């Protein structure tokens, strides 16, 4: 495929954003700036418009040394009655990884696998019911970068 | 492209669910190298009886064939319905009875 065609396809894909029928919040639509922010601070700023305070009420589990940066297991647990949970890291081209919307009475115990291209820091922000932000950070080493897919 | 695998099991009113979505999750960088289009899951929801129990808005930095583990209050016999949508607008829905 030549470059022109490739770019054209990308453009077409960008235009064809479908109207979701899900009665849920898609943070990619409501907070588009979050996903293009280059660093963690501006990502959090774009998503919540405020700064979080460090909290020890959140458990963030990730391996100290990840052998495969293409699939790093990350687990987040907290007893805080959360409204949303966001994951950021500081080595990929953009900082935002994922945002969970916590349903009413939901249990925050999420595990997902993420990609990181180099050693860096994961930041998790938990927004509680009152809109207060709590965060926790963790450094980890990545032996083999995972962004090249 | 693909489907997903769902496992959901109830114990003491808490359902533990594991969902593996089969998706390439091509980042913009990786797609450029391969001469393909970037494509990744951007939004996924889990519903039981039309009530949302799980929701994630995601970026390109989830792993390939991402695995999602989560818990919610529920009971066996109900159906967990997972739906994802990707950057190209493809959407997939899969249902599974909670054990």
Residue-wise over A52-77: b if at least 16 C-beta within 10 A, else e? beebeebebebeeebeebbbbebebb
Residue position matching structure tokens 């909670």 = B98
Interchain pair A114, B63: CB under 8 A: yes
| A43, A69, A112, best to mutate vs chain B, most B CBs in 10 Å | A112
pLDDT at residue A4 in the model: 56
For B59, the closest of A23, A97, A107 (CB atoms) is A97
A76 in B contact zone (CB under 8 Å): no
Q: Which helix (DSSP H) or strand (DSSP E) does residue B33 occupy?
A: helix B28-34
Q: Which tokens is B64 given?
A: 């390939």
- B75 Cβ contact list (under 8 Å, min separation 6): B10, B13, B15, B98
pLDDT at residue A76 in the model: 92
Report, as an integer, the average pLDDT of A6-23.
Answer: 44
A143 closest CA partner among A72, A74, A86, A79: A72
For residue B98, count other CB atoms closer than 10 A to its CB.
Answer: 20
For A25-148, which CATH class?
mainly beta
> Which runs of E-coded beta strand occur in chain A?
53-54, 58-61, 65-66, 72-78, 82-89, 96-101, 108-114, 120-128, 133-142
Q: Which residues of A touch B68 (CB under 8 A)?
A: 110-112
Please provide the size of chain B in residues.
Answer: 99
Beta strands A82-89 and A58-61: pairing type?
unpaired
Q: Which residues of A touch B59 (CB under 8 A)?
A: 35, 94, 96-98
How remote is the C-alpha of B35 from its chain's centroid? 26
Residue B53 sits at φ, ψ, to 5 deg, of -115, -15
Report, as an integer, the average pLDDT of B4-23.
Answer: 89
Report, as an integer, the average pLDDT of A134-147.
Answer: 79
pLDDT in tens, A29-79: 777 777 787 888 888 888 888 888 988 889 998 888 888 888 888 999 998
Q: Which residue of B has its CA nearest to A98?
A: B58
pLDDT at residue A93 in the model: 83
Q: Which residue of B has its CA nearest to A104?
A: B53
- A21 Cβ contact list (under 8 Å, min separation 6): none
Domain ranges of chain B: 4-97
For B4-97, which CATH class?
mainly beta
Q: Which residues of B touch A77 (CB under 8 A)?
A: none
């Amino acid at each position: 495929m030549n470059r022109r065609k490739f770019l054209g396809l990308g453009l077409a894909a960008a235009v064809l954003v479908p109207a979701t029928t899900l009665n849920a919040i898609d943070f990619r639509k409501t907070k588009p700036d979050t996903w293009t922010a280059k660093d963690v601070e501006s990502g959090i700023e774009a998503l919540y418009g405020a700064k979080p305070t460090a909290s020890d009420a959140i458990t963030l589990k990730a391996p100290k040394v990840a052998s495969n940066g293409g699939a790093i297991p990350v687990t987040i647990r907290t007893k805080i009655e959360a409204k949303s949970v966001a994951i950021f890291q500081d080595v990929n081209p953009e900082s935002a990884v994922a945002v969970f919307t916590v349903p009413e009475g939901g249990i925050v115990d999420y595990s997902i696998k993420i990609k990181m291209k180099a050693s860096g820091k994961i930041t998790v922000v938990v927004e509680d019911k009152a809109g207060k932000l709590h965060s926790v950070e963790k450094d980890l080493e990545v032996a083999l970068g995972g962004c090249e897919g | 492209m693909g489907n997903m695998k769902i496992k959901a099991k109830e114990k003491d009113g808490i359902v533990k669910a594991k969902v593996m979505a089969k998706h390439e999750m091509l980042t913009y960088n990786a797609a450029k190298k391969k001469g393909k289009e970037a494509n990744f899951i951007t939004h996924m929801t889990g519903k039981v009886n039309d009530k949302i129990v799980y929701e994630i808005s995601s970026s390109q930095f989830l792993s390939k064939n991402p695995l999602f583990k989560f818990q919610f209050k529920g009971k066996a016999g109900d159906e967990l319905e997972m739906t994802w949508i990707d950057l190209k607008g493809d959407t997939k829905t899969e249902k599974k009875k909670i054990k």
